[in-house]
Structures are given as C-alpha cells and as structure tokens.
Amino acid sequence: MPLSLRTLTLKDSFTLYHLLLKNKEHLAPWFEWAHDIGSILDCTEFIQQSQNRDFGIWNDGTMIGVVGHHAINWRHKHAEIGYWIAQDWQGKGLVQQAASSLIAYLLHQYQLNRIEILCTVHNQRSRKLAEKLGFTYEGIQREGYLFRDRYWDVACYSLLAREFRARVPNELIHLPSIHPQTPLVRAMELGP
C-alpha cells in the first residue's frame, strides 16, 4: 500500500493519541501542544478544532505522522504548513513526500500564491526539510514564538507557486487523488 494522506477524523483519536504518547519526548522540544495532549479526549478536541486542515500520514495502514496547513489568508492567497513524524520513521523522506503532496494540493485546489514554513531557528530537521522542498530562506523573526515561557527566534521560509511549477513541471506534478467523503479532502494517495 502506498504512502497516503487522510483527513483526521474522530475515529483517528485513539490511534493519534497512542502515536503522540509514544513520541511525546521526541515532539515536546518543538511543539507546545505535545505537553497538552494527555488523553484520547484531548486528541478528539484537537481533531475537531483542526477543521479538516490536518492529515494523518499513513504508511501501509499505520499512522506515522501528521501534515497540515494553518489558516489560509484568502486575500493574499497564502498559507503556512506544518508537519511531524514519529521518531521511528524519521530520515526516510516520508515527510518530504507528504509535505510536497500537500503543497501541490494547496497550490492547485486553492490557487494559492505562497506557502510558508515557520520553525524555531534551532529546529535543524525542519529547516533542512524546508530547503529540500525548494523553499527560500527569508530570515528570522526575532522572538517570534512564545514557547515554555520563553521567546524564541523563528526561521521563515517561503515557496511561491511559480517557483513550485518551475521546479516541478506540470506534467510531472502528481496531484493526489481526492476522495470526496468530506467537503475538503478525505484522502490523498501520494504518487511515485
């Protein structure tokens, strides 16, 4: 079975909770919410609040991470994406594949002009992934995140639609197949 993205649903609460529980120490340095998820109910609330913006990354029927987008700015046609993967699955290129598919979907489906990745400056894995995805480093937002009662500098990356199209010609872009179980998107099969 290929790697796939599927909109998180309430049925995923149990699976997501156990994946987060197993990876809490791995995720805690980067995500404040990793400290806040203490029960299956917390995962249920997270999924309800995500409003179809977060997708489980599935490999052979097993959830291995999440990729998603944050509030789309419709006036200026841009959105921020985020991602994480279980520690056991790091270094295999799977987040890159999932994020790339989500980017293609967002640029095509919503005709966005700009995708952003923001991460703390010391999150080297996330910064390297942004560069592998073709994002341009724009600079630092000084003390842009308040996390654990401390302000952190934030590295800012962006990718424009024209840059994505120039990097990946239209005939090579594999748009995920969209399964219409929800108004937004239920599942995306990730191409080769």
Q: Spell out the residues 6+ positions from residue 28 whose beta carbon is closer than 8 angstroms to its own.
A: 34, 35
Residue-level pLDDT, tens digit, the chain, 192 residues: 578 898 999 999 999 999 988 888 888 777 777 777 788 888 888 888 887 788 999 998 899 999 999 878 999 999 999 999 999 999 999 999 999 989 998 998 899 999 999 999 999 999 999 999 999 999 999 999 898 889 999 999 999 999 998 887 554 455 444 333 333 444 455 544
**Residue 183, pLDDT score:** 35
Q: Which residues pair with 84 in a beta bridge?
A: 66
**HSE-up (13 A, CA, CB side) for residue 77:** 11
Q: How many domains are contained in the chain?
A: 1
**How many other C-beta atoms lie within 10 A of the C-beta of residue 132?**
13
CATH no. for residue 161?
A: 3.40.630.30
Cα–Cα distance measured from residue 158 to residue 137, given in angstroms and rounded to the nearest whole number: 7
In this structure, the strands spanning 114-120 and 78-85 are parallel
Q: Which residues pair with 4 in a beta bridge?
A: 58, 189
- Write out the two tokens for 124: 């080297």
Domain range spanning residue 115? 4-189
The phi and psi torsions of 115 (rounded to 5 degrees) equal -120, 140
Determine the residue type at 183: P
Q: What is the pTM of this model?
A: 0.83
